[in-house]
Structure 1
Amino acid sequence: MKVVVLIVVISHILFFSSAEAFSVIADLSPSRIEIHSKFTGKNILIFGALMEKTDNIVIIIHGPETSMAIHKKVKVLGLWTNGAKVLVNRVPYFFSFSSATMPYRKIKQIFYEEFIPFSHERDLSNDEREMVEALIQNKIRSSLYQFENAVEIINDRLFRGNIFLPGNIVRGKYTVEIIALDDNRIVGIESIPLVVVKTGLDAWIFDMNHSHPILYGFAAIIGAIFIGWLGFFATNRKKFFNKSGS
């Protein structure tokens, strides 16, 4: 595996060495992930080479994006219910930040919105900021947001990073961004697609639910009736056979 990775990196360097625009050459393995009922997660290897020495390498994986309404829970007459809400656009379901030399909090102070999971189109109140922060903390607890992954730089020219995608990721298109930093400036970026797909019975059920919802609903009703009938027959079969024998 290491020999194959080294050959790929060297071939990229030889091909792009004359092009100034390519200061970062990178690839990942695997570039396609299949999830199924027994899927528990997958390690992704991101590796590559630098055309020149830099201070830091940052790797970000994010996607798929969606809009979310974040509600604040309030207690009314002893019952918890939804209170105020804040709408946030382009929220990535998964976000991973990896750095070779500088922690996330320091990178965030320098670049702010360049490396955060999602930005806001308007200023938020203190309550709204607390709600957004609660969302991020929930994502962290679920391993869907990661901010402490590391990147290894080898001999000032090669780099590699391992990122774990947990078992609760969803299918869709993800983006892997490899960013070279030098003197607190972005000097090179490479972007690579990562695809997550469903396979097996889970994929069939998912596609049926989204592509043919009416047919899926009808099949679900028929299936529920059939399972209910089997349950009724199983619990009453002794009575049924006793009556038949008499």
Structure 2
Amino acid sequence: MIRLFALFILLALPAKAEEIVLGLSRDQVAITATFEGSDILVFGAIKREAPIPDESDLGVIVTVMGPSEPVIVRRKDKRLGIWVNTDEVEVDAAPSFYAVATSAPMREVLKDVEDLRYGITIPRVIRSVGAVVEDSASFTRALIRIRAGEELYQVLEGAVDVEQETLFRTAISLPANLTEGEYEAHIFLTRDGRVIDEYITFIPVRKVGLERWLYNLAHDNAFLYGLMSLAIAIVAGWGASAAFSLLRR
């Protein structure tokens, strides 16, 4: 009876005027021993129940977020000629990877109140509620700057191509230093900076082959992994020494 009542409620709800239909160039990313990064093509269309509105501007925002994790950010100062850690802030949760691509400048496709509600820009997805150090926001900015330099945080304004306000596509580059886990692809459709629809899908990022075997061995049998690493180092050293001796003759 409850299920039937819920079905009647869903049928009674009005259909969305504009709705996202999404596609991905790949549904998973494999990290191998020779992994040097990858590109994900995000593309889709906008399904409509009515003609395209003329009085407002369409915006498309695509985000790809890696697993969140706590991070300790430290500040260094020079004391008596030596650089030492002085202050530190523990960020409660920061994405290991985050890319946000837009169809126009961010200020044109997203209002600040919508960013506060949905948490779309990079500062909004980093949570640091327990920081008690003075000027703790500077630690968050430093984390963003460092990870942006490593291509782990990306802001790609104007990187989403929209054709006839119906088709859209963009490419997100994943660097080689990815963290394994579930990556969330989130697409927002906006009108005059307000979110009118959203779509979420997930992309598994996993180590495979030799990389997976070594990872499992290191975590499940650290002693055997250490012995194997030592044996490889000994053999490599002996081989290099033998080769050098032959070259000297």
Q: 1:34 aligns with which of 7, 30, 33?
A: 30
CA distance in 2, matches of 1:195, 1:157: 28
- Counterpart position of 2:184: 175
> Counterpart of 2:213?
204
1:186 aligned residue: 195
The offset of 1:232, in angstroms, is: 6.2
> Per-residue CA shift, 1:47-90, capped at 9, x if unaligned?
11112456211100001211111111122332222221111122
SS at match of 1:170: coil
Q: What residue is the counterpart of 1:49 in the other structure?
A: 45
Find the counterpart in structure 2 of residue 20 from structure 1: 15
Residue identity in the other structure for 1:37: A
CA contact 1:108–1:115 (8 Å) conserved in 2: no
Distance 1:85 1:211, change over 3 A: same
Question: How much has 1:221 moved relative to structure 2?
Answer: 3.3
Counterpart of 2:87 in structure 1 is 84
Is 1:93 equivalent to 2:96 in the alignment?
Answer: yes
User: In structure 2, what is the equivalent of residue 148 of structure 1?
Assistant: 156
Q: Name the structure where helix makes up a greater proportion of residues.
A: 1
Consecutive aligned runs of 4 or more in structure 1 exceeding 4 Å deviation: 122-126, 225-237
Output one character per residue of 1:139-168: Cα deviation in whole Å (capped at 9) or x when no partner: 111111111241111121111111111222
Quote the Cα distance in structure 1 between the aligned partners of 2:41 and 2:202.
Answer: 13
- Aligned Cα root-mean-square deviation (Å): 3.1
| AA partner of residue 177 (structure 2) | N
Question: How many Å separate the matches in 1 of 2:132 and 2:215?
Answer: 36
Q: Report SS of the residue matched to 1:206.
A: helix
Instruction: Give aligned pairs, total.
Output: 223
- 2:109 and 2:88 map into 1 onto residues whose CA distance is 30
Shift in alpha-carbon separation, 1:236–1:39, aligned structure 2, 3 A: closer
CA contact (8 A) 2:108 2:193 kept: no
Q: TM-score, normalised by structure 2?
A: 0.76
TM-score with structure 1 setting the length: 0.77
Percent of aligned pairs with the same amino acid: 26
| Match runs of 1:112-151 below 5 Å | 112-113=115-116, 114-117=119-122, 118-122=126-130, 127-149=135-157, 150-151=159-160
- Indicate if the aligned counterparts of 1:64 and 1:174 stay in contact, CA closer than 8 A: yes
